[in-house]
Amino acid sequence: MSLVQEIDYGTPRSKAEKTITLTIDGQAMTVPEGTSIMRAAMEMGTKIPKLCATDMLDAFGSCRLCLVEIDGRPGTPASCTTPAANGMVVHTQTERLKRLRKGVMELYISEHPLDCLTCSANGDCELQDMAGAVGLREVRYGYGGARHPNPGLDESNPYFTYEPSKCIVCSRCVRACEEVQGTFALTIAGRGFGSVVSPGMEESFFSSECVSCGACVQACPTATLNEKSVIEIGTPEHSVVTTCAYCGVGCSFKAEMRGDEVVRMVPFKDGKANRGHSCVKGRFAWGYANHRERILKPMIREKITDPWREVSWQEAIGRVASEFKRIQAKYGPSSIGGITSSRCTDEETFLVQKLVRATFGNNNVDTCARVCHSPTGYGLSTTFGTSAGTQDFDSVEHTDVVVLIGANPTDAHPVFASRMKKRLRQGAKLIVIDPRQIDLVRTPHVAAAYHLPLRPGTNVAILSALAHVVVTEGLVNEKFVRERCDWDEFSDWAAFVSEPHNSPEAVAKISGVPAEAIRGAARLYATGGNGAIYYGLGVTEHSQGSTTVMAIANLAMATGNIGRPGVGVNPLRGQNNVQGSCDMGSFPHELSGYRHISNDATRAMFEALWGKPLEREPGLRIPNMLDAAVDGSFKGLYVQGEDILQSDPDTHHVSAGLAAMECVVVQDLFLNETANYAHVFLPGSTFLEKNGTFINAERRIQLVRKVMAPKNGYEDWEITCLISEAMGYPMHYDHPSQIMDEIAHLTPTFAGVSFKRIEELGSIQWPCNEKAPEGTPVMHINGFVRGKGKFVITEYVPTDERTGPRFPLLLTTGRILSQYNVGAQTRRTANVLWHEEDRLEIHPHDAEQRGIRDGDWVKLASRAGETALRALITERVAPGVVYTTFHHPNTQANVVTTEYSDWATNCPEYKVTAVQVARSNGPTHWQEEYDEMARNSRRIAATIEAAE
């Protein structure tokens, strides 16, 4: 195995269709117009020396190393900044050029410390490479870089160091931060020989605006910015391309290794979702895989109050099988079920639902998507005919108006946010519909044209008001609607949204958003060119989540913003494989590809292949399983890679349900909160230890490749197979590719998918079949999947969760960049340095009324429960609204969330809870107990580690 080498062409690819032909060193070369001479030379295999250029960034032209000679032109222009032209004759190697380049390198080297042998970039340094490439043999101005400014080593960032003495001031880092990441955290301070890279106002990296995406580290051609892991372990010797296991962006990475140790994760330029970029989680937060709290041996116990006992895999699997069979014999076949994981691969998820349907003999399977994007499934299937986003991420490059509803991409989908910011800096307009002033409302060089800070729970009203403006002001794209949608349904909908109660003026009273802002936003979306809607859990996690998704679809159809690049309706999926877990048939009523279980022909296909009869009726959803457990009819649960106690609403109800079961089996990396109620713990494997596929928010199927053997002994799909076999239904697979073959055989939208095909194409966006053998980047181009687009009347119904004298504030929740969901992985990395605890954001007015100062402990109480956390006073939230993240188990924000849920899908209403906030002395009693328990388990883990 070797390192996967990606060619650096020096400047970005030109997207022009017109081509030109030039001659380089006597060889003709045809390239798209706008291509630099440097890139044209690289594409034909001629490397021109360079330092300040890299193909991730626009050409800058500062180092003067890439000089060329052009017939008929005076001087020696820089090849990175000079576009190739028709008929141009270029020379890259002449005596004059050699002399000039050596002179440039002499100056660089005289300014650079010559500790190459002990430098962490030795062997992986472009300065070294260029000294070799230009044939530098002596330096007339002395060595050692004594004159170079050296403000000292900055080790403040937990993942990388900044060693200014090695800086060649090429500005690649500064430009990467601006162009790729869009954070503008770096600047070049000083002048001439005194120039130096500086984060913010000469702060440390950690205390600056830096969000630790690592783009600057990747861009740096020297060891000036370098990963601490490289400094510690050494340069990598082989790499494996795989897919990030955090969010739904689905970034592609090269896992660069030494033996079976990960040295660093380098974003893969050929990754079509991320195009060589990443965020702090994917690039740096992989250390949890080696965390000492990771459980590597199976454990069992008789009662949940007993201590755990380590056992062999054989004994653990035997216990699972015998318990599940006993329970079914005693309480009936429907008394057990399973929960699939959106963190696991498609193949693993497919097998869990197969285990439930074929081995358990019922349809009691559900997934965590229940609590996030199930309304997307319902809403988009109803209106468009398929349960997925309509676009690829590249589409945003063609968007003129971005509408962002209930999503906070800079925190939750950071790499896509960077691409979106780039488009906004190019001039696209932005409308943000969110109760909070998220970063994108105003961030360097980006300002939203409209921010509609609606009262939580009023999404549908606002969308109806936007539609009201579109219809009543004659902004409907009638041609699109007549050709592509059901006209009668449209007419009914148009009449409905035109009613006075849907006018911006009426909705302003409900939502708190001024009518003029609603009107302005509607006009901009309808008339501003290509309009694309991106939305997140702020849309779905409501009692009207499915209604909101349909209202979004209505608006897009009415304005003709569907079916071409630059437009569309795009759910930003939360977890890495939440799209895949839904696609794989994880819901109780659907087989893979969203086909209803009651469809006889579909079921017959599965029955024929699986050799088992399948139940016709849908099984239980997660909340129904818990209800049934409390009622005594549901007794056994297999939970793969989920922590329902922490992630599901109304914690008290979840714990009561789990406690009422006789056999809870948890398969995970760590003893999570749900495992407190488990009888069997099966250690899971990380994404680094398995093969399979994930599907991101663009429907993109990408390979997850094993970079090391599973530390627990098995990949997760193998464990599911072991359980099934022990229960009497062997599943015969040697490799996950065979599971994907089965998925493709049984699922029309995946018919053309195989591991081999994904290897060939890099990734595939479903549908992929005979009609679309290379997949489908943009959906509904010539017609909707369901035929005619369906307009649905979306009447606003206020949630039953109301504020009142006891609970006068509305709580809404969200994520922060450095953490991921319940934090099981990110809390076990240095990412905690950015977010050590969940805080309650409260408006200064509400804080003052309650005598709360910044940093005070406050009690957060709802009618469901109470917790305590510290206050953060900020105007990011409007008066009357409070906000918190849910990454730390000792906060358990879900203790206060209620049992209300989406009318169609049961997706919990996380985003609206009526609460009261009051000063308190510290954590509640249960939090203190929890902290003590956590301290004990850390002590035990440390003792075991020391003994080993």
Q: Which residues bind ligand SF4 (CB under 6 A)?
A: 167-173, 176-177, 181, 183, 185-186, 197, 199, 210-216, 219-222, 224-225, 244, 246-247, 249-251, 274, 278-279, 281-282, 414-415
Provide, rounded to whole angstroms, the least separation between the CB of residue 737 and ligand SF4: 23
Q: What CA dihedral angle connects 290, 291, 293 and 295, to 10 degrees?
A: -20
Provide, rounded to whole angstroms, the least separation between the CB of residue 126 and ligand SF4: 9
Question: Residue 64's binding partner, choosing from ligand FES, ligand SF4, none, with beta-carbon cut-off 5 to 8 A by kind?
Answer: ligand FES
Q: How far apart are CA 1 and CA 238, in angstroms?
A: 6
Q: Are 274 and 11 spatial neighbours (Cβ–Cβ below 8 Å)?
A: no
Chain centroid to CA 830: how far?
Answer: 19
- Nearer to ligand FES by Cβ, of 10 and 593: the residue is 10
Question: Residue 78's binding partner, choosing from ligand FES, ligand SF4, none, with beta-carbon cut-off 5 to 8 A by kind?
Answer: ligand FES
Provide, rounded to whole angstroms, the least separation between the CB of residue 274 and ligand SF4: 6
- Nearer to ligand FES by Cβ, of 91 and 863: the residue is 91
- Nearer to ligand SF4 by Cβ, of 424 and 810: the residue is 424
Provide, rounded to whole angstroms, the least separation between the CB of residue 49 and ligand FES: 8
Tokens representing residue 52 in the block: 């300040």
Strand, helix or coil at 330?
helix
Provide, rounded to whole angstroms, the least separation between the CB of residue 639 and ligand SF4: 23
Provide, rounded to whole angstroms, the least separation between the CB of residue 93 and ligand FES: 16
Q: Are 557 and 480 spatial neighbours (Cβ–Cβ below 8 Å)?
A: yes
Tokens representing residue 126 in the block: 């472009």
Question: Residue 53's binding partner, choosing from ligand SF4, ligand FES, none, with beta-carbon cut-off 5 to 8 A by kind?
Answer: ligand FES
Q: Which residues 6+ apart lie within 8 Å of 290 measured at CB?
A: none
Q: How far apart are CA 653 and CA 911, in angstroms?
A: 18
Provide, rounded to whole angstroms, the least separation between the CB of residue 32 and ligand FES: 20
Q: Which residues 6+ apart lie within 8 Å of 581 measured at CB?
A: 340, 341, 342, 344, 346, 349, 367, 368, 369
Residues that bind ligand FES (CB under 6 A): 50-53, 61-66, 78, 80
- Nearer to ligand FES by Cβ, of 176 and 380: the residue is 176
Provide, rounded to whole angstroms, the least separation between the CB of residue 53 and ligand FES: 4
Question: Residue 220's binding partner, choosing from ligand FES, ligand SF4, none, with beta-carbon cut-off 5 to 8 A by kind?
Answer: ligand SF4
- Nearer to ligand FES by Cβ, of 51 and 852: the residue is 51
- Nearer to ligand SF4 by Cβ, of 170 and 263: the residue is 170
Find tokens 């090849």 and name the residue: 79
**Whose CA is closest to 560, among 587, 525, 594, 586?**
525
Question: Residue 359's binding partner, choosing from ligand SF4, ligand FES, none, with beta-carbon cut-off 5 to 8 A by kind?
Answer: none
Find tokens 């209505």 and name the residue: 554
- Nearer to ligand SF4 by Cβ, of 185 and 465: the residue is 185
Question: Residue 65's binding partner, choosing from ligand SF4, ligand FES, none, with beta-carbon cut-off 5 to 8 A by kind?
Answer: ligand FES
Say how many C-beta atoms besides its own lie within 10 A of residue 814's C-beta: 23
**634: Cα within 13 Å, side-chain hemisphere:** 27
Provide, rounded to whole angstroms, the least separation between the CB of residue 210 and ligand FES: 25
Q: How far apart are CA 392 and CA 412, in angstroms?
A: 18
As beta bridge partners, residue 226 has 161
- Nearer to ligand SF4 by Cβ, of 225 and 351: the residue is 225
Question: Residue 185's binding partner, choosing from ligand SF4, ligand FES, none, with beta-carbon cut-off 5 to 8 A by kind?
Answer: ligand SF4
Tokens representing residue 298 in the block: 């199976």
- Nearer to ligand SF4 by Cβ, of 224 and 640: the residue is 224
Question: Residue 693's binding partner, choosing from ligand FES, ligand SF4, none, with beta-carbon cut-off 5 to 8 A by kind?
Answer: none
Q: Which residues 6+ apart lie within 8 Å of 925 measured at CB?
A: none
676 DSSP 8-state letter: G
Provide, rounded to whole angstroms, the least separation between the CB of residue 10 and ligand FES: 7
Provide, rounded to whole angstroms, the least separation between the CB of residue 140 and ligand SF4: 23
Provide, rounded to whole angstroms, the least separation between the CB of residue 914 and ligand SF4: 32
Question: Residue 176's binding partner, choosing from ligand FES, ligand SF4, none, with beta-carbon cut-off 5 to 8 A by kind?
Answer: ligand SF4
Question: Residue 251's binding partner, choosing from ligand SF4, ligand FES, none, with beta-carbon cut-off 5 to 8 A by kind?
Answer: ligand SF4
Q: Are 756 and 768 spatial neighbours (Cβ–Cβ below 8 Å)?
A: no
Question: Residue 169's binding partner, choosing from ligand SF4, ligand FES, none, with beta-carbon cut-off 5 to 8 A by kind?
Answer: ligand SF4
652 DSSP 8-state letter: H
Q: Are 69 and 1 spatial neighbours (Cβ–Cβ below 8 Å)?
A: no
- Nearer to ligand SF4 by Cβ, of 181 and 381: the residue is 181
Q: Are 701 and 763 spatial neighbours (Cβ–Cβ below 8 Å)?
A: yes
Tokens representing residue 94 in the block: 């002449």
Question: Residue 274's binding partner, choosing from ligand SF4, ligand FES, none, with beta-carbon cut-off 5 to 8 A by kind?
Answer: ligand SF4
- Nearer to ligand FES by Cβ, of 77 and 144: the residue is 77
Q: Which residues 6+ apart lie within 8 Å of 103 measured at CB?
A: none
**Whose CA is closest to 739, among 623, 853, 585?**
585
**Whose CA is closest to 918, among 864, 851, 828?**
851
Residue nearest to ligand SF4 (CB): 282
Q: How far apart are CA 340 and CA 334, in angstroms?
A: 17
- Nearer to ligand SF4 by Cβ, of 174 and 877: the residue is 174
Q: Are 647 and 342 spatial neighbours (Cβ–Cβ below 8 Å)?
A: no
